[in-house]
Amino acid sequence: MRRFQKPLAGMVTCGSGPYLWDELAGSVKLSGFPDPDLFDHFAHSGRRLLSSQAATTEEITGLDEKVDMMAAPKLDPIDLKILDAIQRDGRITKLALADKVGLSPTPCWMRLRKLEKAGIVSGYHASIAIRVVAPVATVLMEVTLASHRQADFDRFERVIRDIPEIVACWSVGGGVDYVLKVMARDVDAYQRLVDALLEREIGIDRYFTYIVTKTVKDETVLPLADLLPPHL
């Protein structure tokens, strides 16, 4: 959790918006945003507070949690039913969806559109059984960079995003910096991809390869009831 120092003048700034330090509550009042877009930017851009005159070592704690609570949209049980239904069947018709969640079609469709506009529903995709068409190699790759400056991470991630065979990449904590999922025609094709990465000198210090020999579970449906807080 990030912590921020209490400024001398009793306020911190983010862009052009002032946020007052509440001496009694010991927290930041997230008010005074010029417009909702700035609040959204603040809540989703790493929550960086800029203060040039921090006078004490007293810190503001719990700020991330406060921002998350204010920024998170409220979902009711019907919203959860809609989300569960469409992630199981992205091609479900409006009438079938309305019937499944117990609403008439128009209110149901309006709720779905609201979820889409909020970014909760980020897209609709088909699941391709590629091995029905051709055998492919699925490889997990751990990568550790030689240097850990922000510029090194940015350079590595910029290159990875442009390689279609790398279908997933996660920045992780622990003994390595990244875990990649690579889909290649075969192991030789994977090794040629790795050799090309090393030749580009994007800061890779070492890597480890794990060839997937069997898919035990590859679930794309999220267990919403287990992941979301009970009060939702």
Helix (H) or strand (E) holding 131: helix 130-133
- Tell me, yes or no, whether 228 lies in a domain: no
Check whether residue 83 and residue 32 sit in a common domain.
no
DSSP 8-state symbol, 219: -
User: CA-CA distance, 178 to 166, in Å (whole number)?
Assistant: 12
Domain that holds residue 53: 4-71
pLDDT of 58-109, one tens digit each? 433 444 444 444 456 789 999 999 999 999 999 999 999 999 999 999 999 9
Residue 225 lies in a domain: no
Q: String of b and e for 24-38 (b: at least 16 CB within 10 Å)?
A: eeeebebeebeeeee
- Which residues, in sequence order, are bridge partners of residue 179? 142, 170
Domains held by the chain: number: 3
Q: Is residue 220 part of a domain?
A: no
* pLDDT tens column, 5-34: 434 333 333 433 443 333 333 334 343 434
Q: Is residue 109 part of a domain?
A: yes
pLDDT value for 39? 41
Cα angle at 222 between 219 and 225, to 5 degrees?
140
Same domain, 53 and 81: no
Positive or negative torsion for Cα 103, 109, 115, 121: positive
User: Is 230 in contact with 82 (CB distance < 8 Å)?
Assistant: no
Between 54 and 192, residue with greater pLDDT = 192
Residues 183 and 156 in one domain: yes
In terms of domains, do 87 and 142 share one?
no
Angstrom distance (rounded) from CA 71 to CA 64? 10
Which of helix, strand or coil describes residue 97?
A: helix
Element (H, E) at 8: none
Both 113 and 47 in one domain: the answer is no
